[in-house]
Amino acid sequence: MPKIRVLVVDDAVVMRKMITEVLARDPQIEVAGTAANGSIALQKIPQINPDLITLDVEMPEMDGIQTLTEIRKSYPTLPVIMFSTLTAKGGVTTLEALSRGATDYVTKPANVGSVGEGIQRLETELIPKIKAHCRHLRAGDPPGDHTQFVSRIKPVVLPQRTGIHPVEILCIGTSTGGPNALAEVFKGFPGDFPIPIVVVQHMPPMFTALLAERLAAHSGVRFQEGRHGQVIEPGCGYVAPGGKHMEVKRDGLRAILQLHEGPPENSCRPAVDVLFRSVAAAYGSRTLGVILTGMGQDGLRGCQHLREQHGQVIAQDEKTSVVWGMPGCVVQAGLADAVVPLARVREEIVRRALGSRVPRAA
């Protein structure tokens, strides 16, 4: 079985060495080459024919965004994972890179002087992403195919649904590929959408606030990063802050957000399962859940809770998912009421949310 060939692009010698050392430890990956800037990287791509590129966002001469733009002109499907600093500036640039065709991103270790800690971080975050995005090389399947979790999921036995109830809240969970998927879903979304929207996107602190700003700027929904104790309102969207779980709790006739730093679930905080479980308890059958592209199986248990309360679930299909892990697990477990391509998710949400509230014509 061929190894995954990676081109490492970073102007910092210490980062090139650290990434190379991490990747060399895995028997399924080899570093085919390194480059200190974008210009050198563009020269090396046709020479070494990499399966994936790691690309630093901030570099002299030709930065990551410029390099990515040039890569996409000749290699539109070559996986590119951006390396970004965990700062507001890094978040802005990362979201810009994702919108321009970057496949994924990893945040740099906060202290590269701590080599052991940095290496451990990269092993945990980078290697699974490389394998997920290059899975087609090992399995003979197209990119975006299911992760190792999906085939192991057993169907869940659900109680018989007694009927479809009016939808009073929309909850969405996503991870890898999520920022672009969310932008697609909410582009042209009804500005007068009559229910609140709560979202978990696996992202670090600062990045989630920037994501909420970007979604608000490009949709008719008033998105913001969720705040503890905030009353949720119809037509508004709330993105869970990075590093905190977000839950929805009833407070009399109101529903409020509760943020906390409880243990990670599915190695995630915020976790989709935490949000969906709380929404299922607060809204029951009047919940519409959506699972978009993402790695792993976060959201599986949350969707089970939701369906057990007779709520509805939409899952993104395999073909249009960057990684069909989270939605794939939900589909495999038999928890999805509808499995649709990304281009139809908005239509399906509106149909189920608004159709349940409007009397059918005779």
3-state secondary structure of 316: strand
Q: Estimate the crossing angle of helix 13-24 against helix 115-133, to 10 degrees.
A: 60
H or E element that contains 214: helix 207-217
Instruction: Report how far residue 177's alpha carbon sits from residue 104's, in angstroms, rounded to the nearest whole number.
Output: 7
Name the residue among 317, 301, 86 with its Cα closest to residue 203: 86
- Which of 133, 146, 202, 305 is an active site residue? 202
Task: Give catalytic status of residue 104 as yes or no.
Answer: no
What are 107's strand-pairing partners? 84
- Burial (CB < 10 A; 0-12, 13-18, 19+), residue 359, is exposed
Long-range CB contacts (within 8 A, 24+) of 132-136: 132/176, 132/295, 132/323, 132/325, 133/52, 133/79, 133/81, 133/103, 133/104, 133/322, 133/323, 134/4, 134/51, 134/52, 134/79
- Which of 298, 305, 310, 321 is an active site residue? 298
- Which of 51, 104, 175, 317 is an active site residue? 175
Name the residue among 85, 292, 100 with its Cα closest to residue 205: 85
Task: Give catalytic status of residue 175 as yes or no.
Answer: yes
- Our CA angle for 59, 64, 68, nearest 5°, is 150
Length of the chain: 362
3-state secondary structure of 251: strand
Instruction: Report how far residue 79's alpha carbon sits from residue 5's, in angstroms, rounded to the nearest whole number.
Output: 11
Q: With contact defined as beta carbons under 8 Å apart, do 267 and 255 qualify? A: no
Catalytic residues, by residue number, are 175, 202, 298
